[in-house]
Amino acid sequence: MSTIYEQIGGEPAMSAAVELFYRKVLSDEVIARFFEGVDMERQMGKQKAFLTMVTGGPNNYTGRNMRDAHAHLVKTGLSDVHFDHVVKHLGDTLLELGVPAELVAQVGAAAESMRADVLDR
Amino acid sequence: MSTTPRLRYEGREIPIEEGETALSACARAGIVIPSSCLSGACQSCLVRARSGEIPAAAQVGLGPAKKALGCLLACLCRPTGALELEALDASSEYKATIAAVERLAPTIVRVRLRMDDEMSYRPGQFVTLLRADGLARAYSIASLPSEATIELHVREVRGGQMSGWLADPARVGEAVRLRGPAGECFFTSEALSRPLVMVGVGTGLAPLWGIVRDALAQGHAGPITLLHGARVIEDLYLRGPLTALARAHPGLDLRLCALHGEGDAEVTIGEIDALAKSTVAAMPGRASARAFVCGDPAMVARLKKGLFLAGLSLREIVGDAFVEGPRPAAAL
């Protein structure tokens, strides 16, 4: 069975999706402050790796990376509210790109499985 | 038909077999080009062709600026004829003479250099200018290669060693050296009908003055929006030539912006990133546009973010951030 990554078009589709996703994230006042002062190109590279991972594409995900990467943000107040917003933007992005709702739900579940790592619990 | 591959690296003849990569041939000859993935993904083995035909496979995944500069990946490069390569940090030095110093605004001068050595460059790239005593500063190139002199725009920095020295008309006739050119902030002609957006703050206009004229000379047919911002209206230099250029090219939309001032109908008073964002958000075809943003690093970061949120693709936003004062020697 092919992955969602393959079904939505692989790497080229990821590049389009990540721009849409990152634009939503940066435009969201609730979470934008966590992205202040970051290098946008590097950040988008990470967003692409994240999208690739949650859609089942080739990746080197380790929960430990996710935990370490967000630990400093947890100290400045990163919480469930912010995580929920990011997951919602992820779902909206995929729906906008025409991904069927049941596949979007699968991706949402994959993202959800990272909640404890991201929020350092 | 197969031709025999021939390879030179940094001027040295390297024995190479048919089907062999430049990276492998160099390694056998004892030349270590940094490399890692050997599949074209990590780009650690990026080198540049001085001459010869570049195999298309050796440029897969490179951006248009790198391609235009002749960059290629040594690990994917299987020469099919004669090919001469060099390391990217092989920066050449050129002799030049100060030909003219002309005031453009209260704190900005235009310096024209006559090249004593021939230097090829792309308008918008930067060079490091070295004084005889070794003092070095980087400046963007505002001229076109077809012009007789290299044009630099220099903002006089209070107490600035180089800018104070350059701004003195008595410098005409002095010898300097240029290192470089470097940077990827220049026009590439792979899509002549897409919109171009150019935003320059202060002497960030210098590369854009070169890029916009280069684009028009190369037959760019898509709409061009050029925004120039300054702290005060008096610092909006080259207004006459910019206005004349816009009048001659209906596809060129010129917007001027100053942080402070009043009584000038052609100048928007306010933050240039807000103007850039609203201008681009109303622009048809912005998703395929390319943008050039030039100014100090903080402003370039703000402009990049603003243009991205307004709908431009981040990959298509070329940034040229400059700092006043010392900066590391020109590197690609």
Enter the tokens of residue B127: 């060079």
Residue B330 has pLDDT above 60, yes or no: no
Written as one string, the DSSP assignment of B199-223 is EEEGGGHHHHHHHHHHHHHTT--S-
Domain boundary among B160, B182, B204: B182
* CA distance linking residue B57 with residue B327, whole number of Å: 35
**Min CA distance, B315 vs chain A (Å)?**
8
Query: Does residue B81 sit in the same domain as residue B116?
Result: no
Residues B202, B307: one domain? Answer: yes
Two structure tokens written together for B196: 């171009």
Whether residue B50 lies inside any domain: the answer is yes
Examine residue B330 and state whether it is found in any structural domain, yes or no. no
Domain that holds residue B109: 92-182
| Structural domain contains residue B167 | yes
Give A41's contacts (C-beta < 8 A, 6+ positions apart).
B314
**Cα dihedral: A23, A25, A28, A31 (round 10):** -150
A60 band by pLDDT with thresholds 50, 70 and 90: low
Position with higher pLDDT, B182 vs B139: B139
Strands B71-73 and B46-52: antiparallel
Rounded to whole angstroms, the Cα distance separating B49 from B288 reads 29
Residue where a domain terminates, one of B37, B57, B86: B86
Q: Which residues share a beta bridge with B295?
A: B321
Domain harbouring B43, CATH code: 3.10.20.30
Task: Report residue A80 as tokens.
Answer: 């469930």
Residue B209 shares a structural domain with residue B307: yes
Predicted confidence (pLDDT) at residue B3 exceeds the cutoff of 90: no
Q: Do B314 and A27 touch (CB under 8 A)?
A: no
Q: Provide the H-helix boundaries in chain A.
A: 4-7, 10-27, 40-54, 63-75, 80-96, 101-112, 115-118
pLDDT, one tens digit per residue, over B75-104 is 999 999 999 999 887 668 899 999 999 999
More confident residue, B226 or A62: B226
Does residue B134 lie in a domain region? yes
Distance of CA A44 to the CA centre of its chain: 10
**Range B1-9 average pLDDT:** 82
Q: What is the rounded distance in angstroms from the CA atom of residue B18 to the CA atom of residue B3?
A: 9
In a shared domain, residues B144 and B173: yes
B187 domain residue, yes or no: no
Q: Are residues B71 and B103 in the same domain?
A: no
Q: What is the pLDDT of residues B119-150, one digit of tens each?
A: 999 999 999 999 999 898 999 999 999 999 99
Does one domain contain both B171 and B258? no
CA-closest candidate to residue A103, choices A19, A81, A111: A111
CATH number, domain with residue B250: 3.40.50.80
Q: What is d(CA B41, CA B75) in angstroms, rounded to the nearest whole number?
A: 10
pLDDT band per the 50, 70, 90 thresholds, residue B2: low
Are B161 and B259 part of one and the same domain?
A: no
Confidence at residue B91, expressed as pLDDT on a 0 to 100 scale: 67
Q: What percent of chain B has pLDDT over 90?
A: 71
- The mean predicted confidence, pLDDT, of chain B is 90
Asked whether residue B131 is domain-assigned, the answer is yes
d(CA B302, CA B324): 18
For residue A110, the one-letter residue type is A
Q: Does B313 touch chain A (CB under 8 A)?
A: yes
Give the model's pLDDT for residue B331.
37
**Rounded mean pLDDT of A102-113?**
88
Question: In this complex, do B305 and A40 lie within 8 Å of one another by their Cβ atoms?
Answer: yes
Phi, psi of B319 (to 5 degrees): -105, 140
CA separation, residue B199 to residues A71, B46, B160 (Å): 37, 30, 25
Same domain, B208 and B272: yes
For residues B57-68, average pLDDT: 86
Please name the fold of domain A4-118.
Answer: Globin-like (1.10.490)
pLDDT beyond 80 at A104: yes
Asked whether residue B157 is domain-assigned, the answer is yes
Q: Is the ipTM of this complex over 0.90?
A: no
| CB < 8 Å to A22, chain B | 308, 314
Q: How many domains does chain B have?
A: 3
Mark whether B125 and B155 lie in a shared domain.
Answer: yes
Domain boundaries, chain A: 4-118
Cross-chain Cβ contact B309/A22 below 8 Å: no
Report the Cα B142 to chain-centroid distance in Å.
9
Do B203 and B312 share a domain, yes or no?
yes
A30 at the B interface (CB within 8 A)?
no
The answer to whether position B327 is within a domain reads no
